[in-house]
Every structure is written in structure tokens, then in C-alpha cells.
Structure 1
Amino acid sequence: MTAPRAGGPAGAPLPVPAYGTDTLADLMPAVARSLGVPLDGTGGASADGAGLVLPAAERVCLLLVDGMGEVALRERSGHAPALRRWRADGPHRVLTAGFPTTTATSMGLLGTGLPPGGHGLVGYEVLDPDRDALLNQLQWDGPVDPRRWQPHTTVFQHLAAAGAPVTRVAPPHFDGSGLTEAALRGGRFVGTPERLEARVDAAAAAVRAAPRGLTYVYWGRLDRTGHGDGVGSWQWGEELGRVDAAVAELSRRLPRGTLLLVTADHGMVDVAAPQRLDLAHEPDLRAGVRHVGGEPRAVQLYTEPGAAPAVAREWGQRLDGVARVLTRAEAVAAGWFGPVEERVTGRIGDVLAVMTGPVAVVDSTRMRPETLRLVGQHGALTDDERLVPLFTALL
């Protein structure tokens, strides 16, 4: 990566997620209210988000399309005629993901109704203080009990306990995975083949089978396409077209009176290879750093005792003009994670480097070659990454 100019960590304030209004943490409490199951704020599921109001319905079907950011969807709307018409003719809102803008964190917001500081899934790779080792919260590659890591009751569990059945439709290997158990537990799981048609079939059948309740559907191929080929690629446009056709088909097959919702967990930006700073060639940036976690666009640094101020200065100088560098205390005080529970504090990096330009930080000494080749990236707080659509249709 071309070296950014020297300087300090100062920079314009980054947007702070407005937890309690129009974020992903507010969506499931609104779904619960739509189904006549208001949350009381006990057990973990937040009763906030009262500003997000959805139509009352006996049945709700929520489709989450991984990686379908609002900005990219608007720019590539020629590939999505059904969603384009929906945007023009029906209710459409823009939600924000939390921080960082990554799947594990967003699934925590969605499933629990809590901000990251409450649910504790505060990044892609974060420190497990008990082991002094990083935990990849997508792969769940450490001996960590997900129900202890995220102990709060999920909204799915609240709904099921209140007599509103929940069905979760996703790839079979999601059933019982660490992330599912931490963030999305509750109700019945239906695994389907990795085909959109199969996902639509299972969703329609689940909605029709229950006179009341929630059907949650996950689709991840758009995200994988963006990572591999870029959100600006023709491949991403083609996959978006398939998603759009599936939404149209689902809307035709759901029973009358069903509330259909379509949203996403984050957006994405393309980062060219020359704009990726490789820590393998940056010894000054490794000084005082014990672990490098987070993600390439929202790096979380776990430092040696007492080294955080010096690490923040070095990273701020090196990334001046392309990133905002600040300490954990500054990020928490700014509200990026919402209120932070004591058990979560140590999982957050001592120093955070959040990209503001089209750059990323990688480490070829430990990342797999296929990871180093990824084009689409997310994690930071640009509009491309943090804004997600919410389409609403009472069929």
C-alpha cells in the first residue's frame, strides 16, 4: 500500500450507530411487537427501538441477505427490478449496522436486540481474555461455550416462549454452530441445500404451517460473491438478480396477511490489492502488539501492558488520512459499542484502527492465501458498509 502521509490520529468523528432507533438491534423487537409479543427488557432482549414500527401481523417472514448494503443495492438497482419497484411503491427504510459492520456482530444485534457491548460479539476475531487467544466468531475456532459467551435470551427464544413459533431456515451446518447458538438460538431449525429455490420452498412451507409466528431465512451467497469478485463486479450483479427473483417468488407464495421483511447485515467496499497494508512488512506497527484481531477494515489491537498509547500513536501516524485510530476507552466513550457490560470489555481491542478510505490491513504471516485475495471488505463505518435496507410488505 502506498504510504499515507505522516501525522497524528486526529480526524473527523465517525458516525456512531444510534442504538435504540433504526439499527439492526431494533428490528427484532419491532418484529416481536408486530406479532403481539412486546419485550419487557428482561433476560437480555431489548425493549428499545420503539421508533421502528412495523404493521401488526400474525405471520412474519424475515429474509436476511448477507452483504446486501443499501448503497450498492441502490447503485446496482438495474439488477433488482422487484426491489426497485418495492423501493418506489412501498415502505422502505434504511437501517444501520452496529460496530463493527461484520456478520458476527450484526447477527448478535439481530438475534438479541442488544448493541454489541451487550451481546458481546464485538468483531470477526476478538480476544478471549480467559485464554489470551483470539476467537473467530464465524468459525468459532476455540473451546468457548457460545451460551456463556452470549448469555442473554434471544428474541427468538422470547417469541417461542410466548407462543409465537419460530422457524429458522439456513444452511444445515449452521444448526448448532457457535454463532447460531450464541446469537440466533431459539425455535425450530430447518436446513436446506445451498440453492435459493430450496430456501424459498422451505420458507413458504414454514409460514403456511403455522397460523402465527416468525420464519427467519438466511442467504449468504451474495456476500461470498462480493468478497471473491467485488461488489462492483458483474458476478455480484448477477447474484443480486437471483436474490431479487427469489424475493418476488417468495412474495407470491406466502399466505395473505403475512408481513414480509427483507434486510441485510452489512454492506461492502472493494479494496484493490495495492491498497492493502500487509503487517508482515510493517515491523513498526507490530511493536507492542500482542494480538491483531478485528477485520481488515476495523482492526482491533491487543497490546502489551502499558503499550496502548504508543501503539495508538504509531498506527495513527502510519494511517493518517485513511483511518481513525483511537483507544478502547475512547471508542467505548463515543458509544460505538453501545453500553458495554463488564464481561465484554476485555474482548474489545486496546487500540482500534477503523478505515475511512478504500484501504485494508492484512497479515500474510497468518492469513490464508484465499483470505488475502478477497476483494470486497467490510467492518468500518462508511455508508457503503453500515447502511442496510429494510423492505416491508404486508401481503
Structure 2
Amino acid sequence: MLSPAAEQAPLPPAARAVVVLADGLGHGLLRTRSGHAPFLRGAVAAQDPDLPAVLTAGFPSTTATSMGTFGTGLPPGTHGLAGYQVRVPGTDRLFNELDWIDGPDPVQWQPHPTVFERAAATGIAVTMVGPGKFGGSGLTTAALRGAHFVAARDLPSGVDAAAAAARATRRSLVYLYWGDVDRAGHQHGCESWQWGEAVEHLDGELRRLRALLPPDTSLTVTADHGMVDVADSAKVDVAADRELSVGVELVGGEPRGPQLYCRPGAVADVLATWSERLGDDAWVMTREDAAATGLFGQLAPGVLKRFGDVVVAVRAPIGFVDTRVMNSRIVALIGQHGSLTDVEQQIPFIHLPAQ
């Protein structure tokens, strides 16, 4: 979620700042269906042309990895939040970086200071607003620690809480997360009317948030990834595919960006099999080759082995699941992400300066 353009065009100063992350609100999707978002459409049209309108999420283009970059300013190879499902090096098990059940100590897993910690150390009041389940969670602790957490039962109450936190002190940084757009895309598809309805609701609440903020407060809206619809008929279950499962011990990552943890000595064969099978439908590479191309950014010691031995990034509208480790609810999701396509990686960057 970093780009040279963002570094070259720093934001204008503001005494108070509110940042909203709308999970799943890809730039391409928002542009295509902008009729559902008149407030955001107007904000894009009025934005300073020297500021970037689009940022690029890192790889894999998934929430846990993007939250790591959003929260630290570091690439995945440094912060180490390597995907949706990741194998802990030296073990034979996956853990889910979203729910963090039975996961490692989050501060050891991601030891770098967060943006919130750095801001709080300078005396800025930092508040995070989101669903109550995220307060103190493993992912929050790993990527977003340092903020005072305020639980919100729904988006309107989240907007009220964010506005109140911004007004409470003269120097404040407020972060509001909401996931309804992502949820609608996963369950109904990003081309569905439900997705459009979720965007309309978000857009109306963002308009209301802007009106509630003090004049010296900026408002920034971004996302963590976009999304692609994948039909059930286009999903491949690796567990049931005799060709693709040979040599593969665990399938981590995302359906659109599977990371294959191979049995000892099987990496070359798995790479050859998946490359031949997928052809132009996907990029297939070893993690070492992926790292050499800069796909993960600068690497911190010990992080590379968190990624799969073979990394796949899908081009075509297909996805890969593994019913050995994925439950039926995850397998059934329509909207998917994780790959290197523009619609999955490109996210909006909408900045409304202090008035």
C-alpha cells in the first residue's frame, strides 16, 4: 500500500486526521460502480492533482498483509504478515492471520514499531474504531498496536465514535475500519446489487462523517485490496486434484494467490506441474525467485520461509481451494482476491484536506 507517488506528494498538514479503511473497496470496482458513491465520486473529482488517486497493495493482496503495510509502512517481506493462511516456519501447521487462533505471539511475529505507536510517542492522541472483536486481537496487536480502541456495533456508531475522538483533543489521529463492502463482495460477488448497496451505505456515512468533523481535520479514505468474482465451476480443489496435489504438503495463502508448502525435495516438480497446468492463466514461481523480483519488498531475517515454497498469482477468473484446511464457508465465497491483477491490487486514495 505504498507508492513512489505517495512519497513524493506528502499530504498537507492538519491538526487532526481521520483515516478510513473500507475493506475490499478496490479502485477499479469503485470507478466502475461510482454511481453508488456520489460523495466519494465528488471527492475524487476535487482531489489535489498532485496527490495520487490510486495506491497499489502489496502481495499477496489480502487483508492481513495489507494491514501489516498500512500499520507499519513496511513491505510484506519486512513486516512478515505473509498472507491469509501461513505456515509457521519449522512446523507442519497453518495459522490464519485474520483470526490468529493458536497463532504465535503477535509482537514477536511482527516486531517493528507501528505508525500508531510512533504517533502516540509524539503526544498525538491515537484512536482506532472498529468492530469489537478486533480489540486486542492478534492481527490488531501485530499491525495496529498503539491506539486506544473503541468498539462500534455498526458503521453509523463507528462514524459517531470517530468524529467524537477527533473532536476530543487538538492533536488527534483517528482510524476507522469497516468491512461491510468486503463482506458483501465475498458472499454475493462484487458485481452484485448487495455490493452496490454496501457501497451506498458507506458513501452516505462518509458524507456524514465529513460534516461532523472540526474544520481543521482532514479525512482520508483508502482500502486494503480489490476483488474478482470466481464462479464455483472455476474453483479447483487441490485436495481432490491428483495432479496438482502431488508433492504439496499444505496450501496456504488465498484462493487467488495460493502459496504451496512442499514436501522435502518436491519444489522443482511442484513448480513444473503447476506451471505447465496453468500456463498463461497464472504467474508461478519459487519464493526465492519471487523475492528476487522484489515481489515481497525488502526482506527481514527469517521472513522468507513464511511464504510458500511455490507462489502462485492467478491471472484468469479462477481460484484454488483446499478442502483439507478450508471450511465450506470459505470455499463457497464468490468474491476473491490475493493476486497481482490491477483489480485486486489497486486501491483508492481519496484525501479531503482540512477546511
Give the counterpart letter for 2:245 in structure 1. R
Q: Does 2:207 align with 1:264?
A: no
Task: Tell me, in whole angstroms, the C-alpha distance in 1 between the residues paired with 2:39 and 2:334.
Answer: 27
Residue 53 of structure 1 aligns with which residue? 10
> What TM-score results when the alignment is normalised by the length of structure 2?
0.96
Check the 8 A contact 2:96/2:103 in 1, yes or no. no
Report SS of the residue matched to 1:218. strand
2:47 counterpart (90, 103, 118): 90
1:155 counterpart (92, 105, 115): 115
Residue 168 of structure 2 aligns with which residue? 209
Aligned residues: 351
Report SS of the residue matched to 2:64. helix
Question: Aligned-pair RMSD on alpha carbons?
Answer: 1.3
1:251 Cα deviation (Å)?
Answer: 0.6
1:52 Cα deviation (Å)?
Answer: 3.9
1:20 Cα deviation (Å)?
Answer: 5.5
The CA deviation string for residues 59-96 of structure 1, in whole angstroms up to 9 with x for no partner, is: 00000000000000000001001111111122361001
Task: Tell me, in whole angstroms, the C-alpha distance in 2 between the residues paired with 1:151 and 1:63.
Answer: 24
1:387 counterpart (324, 346, 355): 346
Report SS of the residue matched to 1:346. helix
Q: Does 2:84 align with 1:124?
A: yes
1:179 Cα deviation (Å)?
Answer: 0.2
Task: Tell me, in whole angstroms, the C-alpha distance in 2 between the residues paired with 1:266 and 1:100.
Answer: 9
The runs of 5 or more residues in structure 2 that have no matched partner are none
Moved beyond 6 Å, runs of 4+: none
1:364 Cα deviation (Å)?
Answer: 2.6
1:362 Cα deviation (Å)?
Answer: 1.1
Check the 8 A contact 2:77/2:298 in 1, yes or no. yes
Task: Tell me, in whole angstroms, the C-alpha distance in 1 between the residues paired with 2:18 and 2:79.
Answer: 24
1:262 Cα deviation (Å)?
Answer: 0.5
The CA deviation string for residues 208-267 of structure 1, in whole angstroms up to 9 with x for no partner, is: 001002000001011000000000000000110000001100010100011100000000
1:51 Cα deviation (Å)?
Answer: 1.6
Report SS of the residue matched to 1:138. coil
The CA deviation string for residues 307-360 of structure 1, in whole angstroms up to 9 with x for no partner, is: 111100001111112111100111000101001112211101110111011110
Matches within 5 A, 1:40-189: 50-91=7-48, 93-189=53-149
Q: Does 2:202 align with 1:243?
A: yes
1:143 Cα deviation (Å)?
Answer: 4.0
- Give the stretch that moved more between structures: 363-372 or 116-125: 363-372
1:50 Cα deviation (Å)?
Answer: 3.0
1:54 Cα deviation (Å)?
Answer: 0.4
Task: Tell me, in whole angstroms, the C-alpha distance in 2 between the residues paired with 1:20 and 1:267.
Answer: 17
Give the counterpart letter for 1:348 in structure 2. F
Change in CA separation of 1:161 and 1:261 when aligned onto 2, cut-off 3 Å: same
Report SS of the residue matched to 2:183. helix
1:191 counterpart (148, 151, 154): 151
Give the counterpart letter for 1:82 in structure 2. F
1:306 counterpart (247, 265, 282): 265
Residue 32 of structure 1 aligns with which residue? none
Check the 8 A contact 2:129/2:152 in 1, yes or no. yes
1:130 Cα deviation (Å)?
Answer: 3.6
Task: Tell me, in whole angstroms, the C-alpha distance in 2 between the residues paired with 1:240 and 1:82.
Answer: 11
Task: Tell me, in whole angstroms, the C-alpha distance in 1 between the residues paired with 2:90 and 2:118.
Answer: 30
- Give the stretch that moved more between structures: 271-280 or 197-206: 271-280
Matches within 5 A, 1:20-59: 21-22=4-5, 50-59=7-16
Check the 8 A contact 2:3/2:56 in 1, yes or no. no
Task: Tell me, in whole angstroms, the C-alpha distance in 1 between the residues paired with 2:118 and 2:324.
Answer: 44
1:229 counterpart (171, 188, 195): 188
Matches within 5 A, 1:226-375: 226-375=185-334
Report SS of the residue matched to 1:321. helix
The runs of 5 or more residues in structure 1 that have no matched partner are 1-16, 23-48
Give the counterpart letter for 2:58 in structure 1. G
